[in-house]
Amino acid sequence: MPGVVVFKRRWSVGSDDFVVPGIFLLVLHTIWLIVLAVLLLVLDFGEVACISDLQGHMLGYIVILSGCVVVEGFISWVSMRGSILDTAPRASMQYLLYVRLGILLVEVSWLVVGVIWVSNHYDSCPMGLAKDAVLGIIVCNWCVLLSVLVTVWCTFDRAGRTWVKMKRYQRSLKDGKLRYKRSGSSHRNWRHRKAVREYQDSWNKRCRLLFCCMGTNDRNRNSFTEIAKLLSDFFRDLDVVPSDVVAGLVLLRKFQRQERLVIAHQTGNDTYQFLSGVAVTPSTRFLDVNHPNVCDAVMAITHYMHYALGVYGWPMFMMSHGGTGCCKLFPSLRCCCLPSRKKKRDRALVVEDNCCYCNYAALKNMVNNHNMEVVYVTYHVDVGETPFFVAVDHEKRTVVVSVRGTLSLQDVLTDLNAEGEPLPTNPPHEDWLGHKGMVQAAEYIRRKLVDEGILSQAFNYSLDKGTTQYDLVLVGHSLGAGAAAILAILLKQDFPNLLCYAYAPPGGLLSLPAVEYSKAFITSVVLGKDVVPRIGLHQMEALRTDLINAIKRSEDPKWKIILGGVFCCCPDEVNFDRMEDLTSASRDVTSHPSDSTIALTAHQPLYPPGRIIHIVRNHPKDQKYETRWRRMMGKNEPVFQALWADNKDFDQVLISPVMIQDHMPDKLLYALEKLLVNTGPTKPTRKAAKPQPGVTQRDQGSRDALLTDTPPSRGSPPHGVVLETSFTDFLPPSEMERQQWDQSSTDLAYQMKALRLVPASREASEKNDDSFETSSASELPIKSDTVRP
């Protein structure tokens, strides 16, 4: 950062990116130089013509390799100098590259001469060891030349020449009023517009190359154009190279880790500790999984997670079952050339599965423990058209629609089409925006369900079992979670009792008004440091700003930063006096790192849908949470706990090795199952500091209630079994809570049918000095199978 300028063109590689390739070539050429020098000194070359030519060729290679070693040594040394933004110590890099390119041309010429000699004299020449060495260095040089060509192709910037001209022109302007803002100012000149067009065309061609196997229909071309515009606007006027992003991520992870350590050890705040990057404070609300209603709700969430997992088909089945997957899947397969093994009772309509129905067989195997029947399943996929299936769950008395997440290139294009678009509701709401690609997917599924009568068929599937009285439940994971959430909003008017479970939904999904509306019937589940709920456009712009600030505040060279991140050999030294600028909530996501007159893009924030259950990991020191075998092996398995999260809590990308792993559906299912098996430790305690000036004894007592295990006015709670559930105390219900639970049977039946219970009184909880809120059943949608109107 910035990209190196060679031949009056900007390249997508920095002057500090030549450390590794320079050292690699230096070592390689040094080895060959030593080998050839030893052979010349040891071997006795005669007067035979072919042998003298061989000796001359080896001498020529020694001269060329000597020049390579010297220049590559200087390139590596210069590339190590300075920091990422301090390019002055590396100003001579372009001239070293010119010299190395000249040597490369001589090397190629000598390589051609060597190929000619090998083809004419290799079999007849008696110098076996020497000719083998020449053949080896020829092959090695061809490989190096091929790698150089690939590197040049990867780092070539199509708009690099226009970029250099534009920057040169901007630097030549002395009047600050004529500098060019990217926020739509009239001062933008034709050079700037030309650079923008060329970068947009460059991104468009990259998309076409990456998705070349998808074809070039009108929908794909439009998607490529929109994504190219989005990416070019996101990186506009930022002179960064890919390695800068890697170094910035390493720095940002160090900043985040050190920041959490400092906050956790400070006594002047209410943060006890961090679990999966989440600050545990007195206002943190954990789910009391020992409460019967909460336990039922978590079991229902786990139950429907199998549907979200099953729609992925055979790839997810094989990944979950490993080597035994084929054996388990084979008995359920069909073949177009063999008699159908379809069961007589299986009336499912399967659309666009493969010839052996592998996806449908995997679906049946992954949900075989449920009393369910598949009504319709389609594996048709296109941009904005996502596979899904419809099933009738007799155990929960629901009709389930499960939408698949990202599994194909078409799904990736749907994900990348992330601009905000108004939801097609009736009546329309202008401030209800959604992820454009997922809005298209939800509209596609709604047309299939309603216009083609698939939902009507599902509700009339088994009249003897009362399917007409079943409720509708929508589920999905990742892309499927986003599409299911938007689909739930579109179908809510027609199905008042509708529920939606969104597993690992994307962060940039809904605008805030739509999120508030969705909290009544959508429950989202996020695991740990999952990156997907944190990578909406607005979050990515915040990440861009954090990366830029981290790079600006780093004084270490890039090679040291990346090496420390890969091998963990460098200490995490961070200047916390400047941490506020990096993590401040008021940071300007439109600020440019080097030119204040340039405004970067800023999109309207979009958030995950509904109420969010965040499953976090806790690593208690007490080994009573471990099995006996794990204690003997000395392994510490984390304990999963669940808490309520706000939709705005996912505005920061947490850099972690598990940020991708936590998004996998099988990992999320494992965490949900473990949530009810191993309960977590008691809440952490912190001794209150000395009373601050001006703080009364009563105020200090209230603070002690926030920082101690048990409220000062109470002893141990009578429900001892719940103490190990979470960092909460489960106190007996107050009088107001008892009145709320003492409702008429009609109201209770209605609430249970709506899959929600009456919320407990927060005021009563505060009167009981219970500073840690235990999640009541009101926070969770619970499906009742026994009470129905």
Residue owning tokens 């319709």:
376
Q: How far is CA 250 from CA 202, 255, 319, in A?
A: 28, 9, 29
Domain termination residue (choose one: 237, 272, 289) = 237
My answer on whether 101 and 151 are in the same domain is: yes
Q: Answer yes or no: is 208 within a domain.
A: yes
Judge whether residue 324 has pLDDT over 80: no
Determine the Cα angle at 784 with ends 783 and 787, to 5°. 150
My answer on whether 144 and 173 are in the same domain is: no
My answer on whether 55 and 13 are in the same domain is: yes
My answer on whether 55 and 120 are in the same domain is: yes
Q: Answer yes or no: is 329 within a domain.
A: no
Residue closest to 477 by CA, chosen among 394, 542, 415: 415
In SS3 terms, 716-770 reads as: CCCCHHHCCCCCCCCCCCCHHHHHHHCCCHHHHHHHHHCCCCCCCCHHHHHHCCC
Catalytic residue among 16, 17, 393, 530: 530
Q: Answer yes or no: is 27 within a domain.
A: yes
My answer on whether 133 and 225 are in the same domain is: no
Catalytic residue among 276, 478, 518, 726: 478
Tell me the whole-structure pTM to 2 decimals: 0.78
Judge whether residue 746 has pLDDT over 60: no
My answer on whether 24 and 141 are in the same domain is: yes
In whole angstroms, give the CA distance from residue 648 to residue 644. 12
State yes or no: is 478 an active-site residue: yes
Backbone angles phi, psi at 475, to 5 degrees: -135, 160
Q: Answer yes or no: is 575 within a domain.
A: no
My answer on whether 151 and 168 are in the same domain is: no
For the segment 278-299, what is each residue's pLDDT rounded down to a tens digit? Answer: 888 888 888 888 888 999 999 9
My answer on whether 76 and 174 are in the same domain is: no
Mean pLDDT of the chain: 78
My answer on whether 173 and 142 are in the same domain is: no
Q: How far is CA 326 from CA 323, 334, 340, 369, 616, in A?
A: 7, 14, 19, 19, 33
Q: Answer yes or no: is 687 within a domain.
A: no
Q: How many helices (H) and strands (E) does the chain have?
A: 26, 17
Q: What is the DSSP letter of 89?
A: G
Q: Answer yes or no: is 702 within a domain.
A: yes
Domain termination residue (choose one: 157, 189, 212) = 157
Q: Residues 6 or more apart from 249 whose CB is under 8 A from it?
A: 547, 565, 655
Total domains, the chain? 3
Q: Token pair for residue 755?
A: 């899959």
Longest dimension (CA), the chain: 113
Q: Answer yes or no: is 773 within a domain.
A: yes
Which of 78-87, 237-246, 759-768 is the most confident on average? Answer: 78-87
Task: Give the CA dihedral 522, 525, 531, 532, nearest 10 degrees.
Answer: -30
For the segment 35-58, what is each residue's pLDDT rounded down to a tens digit? Answer: 999 988 887 766 666 777 788 888
Mean pLDDT of 313-337: 75
Judge whether residue 194 has pLDDT over 60: yes
For the segment 715-742, what is each residue's pLDDT rounded down to a tens digit? Answer: 333 333 333 333 333 333 344 333 443 4
Q: Answer yes or no: is 324 within a domain.
A: no
For the segment 507-526, what is each residue's pLDDT rounded down to a tens digit? Answer: 999 999 999 999 999 999 99
My answer on whether 137 and 171 are in the same domain is: no
In whole angstroms, give the CA distance from residue 379 to residue 334. 16
My answer on whether 166 and 149 are in the same domain is: no
Strands 522-527 and 611-618, how do they pair?
Answer: parallel
User: What pLDDT does residue 575 have?
Assistant: 47
Mean pLDDT of 360-364: 87
User: What pLDDT does residue 623 have?
Assistant: 59
Domain termination residue (choose one: 237, 265, 296) = 237
Domain range for residue 726? 697-779
User: What pLDDT does residue 643 have?
Assistant: 93
My answer on whether 121 and 186 are in the same domain is: no
Judge whether residue 611 has pLDDT over 90: yes
In whole angstroms, give the CA distance from residue 353 to residue 390. 15
